[in-house]
Amino acid sequence: MGDYTNMSGYYDLIMTSGYYDYPKIVDALMASQGFQSVLEIGCGTGLILEELAKRNTGVEITGFDLTQAMLNIAQQRLAPYSQVHLIHQNVTVLQLPGRFDLAFSYGGVWYFVMDGGQPLFMVSHIADHQANWDGLTRVAQHIQPGGQLLLGIQGPHHNYAAPISNGYVYSQTIDPSPHGFIKHYFLDDGDQRLMSQRIDYRTYAFDEALAMLASLGLHHQPSPEGDTSFVRFVKS
């Protein structure tokens, strides 16, 4: 399962150097009007939740993550927002009080990849198939009937290296695996390696992912016109 302890101290630096467009992500979340409670699945250091909390002072916001080092940063970032609640939990045994109008993951645990004209496919930070079932089952149990699950859409994973802030160079390499791929993250300062992180991902074909989610009462719904940020599901 994807534990980002090694990466946590540099995560914000990498992610805010053009890796994600946080205002655009939250714009897409806001298209789901009428929600009063929201859950982020794998909230990391709280960058999305901070943007959401700034705009939604009346909405109860909960985030959880497997990596305590990431949550420590999120707790500092989100301390000014009393409506935000952060919890250290593993999604495969998730147990939270109540159910939510909206749950989402944008690269946190599950997301979809769009690669040119190829069909979308789902990527999971959880390499074990049964653990994916367990996690998705737990998430479904925490969504209100009529509530929504939104899973982010990202571009393809490629090998690359690029300079970011402070003259550091971020790079990543992708290796295939029998169930998906292994991604290696690196951050270098000249000849000094500051960080390395290895995550083992599992992938699911689009139809397989939709069938899994439908069996849990989460049914695929068309996204609003022009929205390429999330694949949307409604809980029956």
188 pLDDT more than 80: yes
176 pLDDT more than 90: yes
Element (H, E) at 105: strand 100-105
Predicted local distance difference test score (pLDDT) of residue 227: 79
1 pLDDT more than 70: no
Long-range CB pairs of 114-118, under 8 A, 24+ apart, other chains included: 114/153, 114/154, 114/155, 114/156, 114/228, 115/155, 115/156, 116/156
Instruction: Give the model confidence (pLDDT) of 198-212 as tens digits.
Output: 999 999 999 999 999
Instruction: Give the model confidence (pLDDT) of 93-145 as tens digits.
Output: 999 999 999 999 998 899 999 988 889 999 999 999 999 999 999 999 999 99
2 pLDDT more than 80: no
Q: How crowded is residue 144: how many other Cβ atoms within 10 Å of its Cβ? A: 16
Predicted local distance difference test score (pLDDT) of residue 5: 81
Domain architecture of the chain: domains with CATH: 8-111+123-156+205-235 (3.40.50.150)
69 pLDDT more than 90: yes
154 pLDDT more than 80: yes
Say which range, 2-11, 41-50, 223-232, has the weakest mean pLDDT. 2-11
Predicted local distance difference test score (pLDDT) of residue 32: 86
Instruction: Give the model confidence (pLDDT) of 11-55 as tens digits.
Output: 888 888 777 888 999 999 988 888 999 999 999 999 999 999 998
**Average pLDDT value over all residues in the chain:** 93
pLDDT band at 4 (very low <50, low <70, confident <90, very high): confident
57 pLDDT more than 80: no
Torsion angle (degrees, nearest 10) of CA 2, 186, 7, 22:
-90
> In whole angstroms, what is the distance from residue 108 CA to residue 115 CA?
19
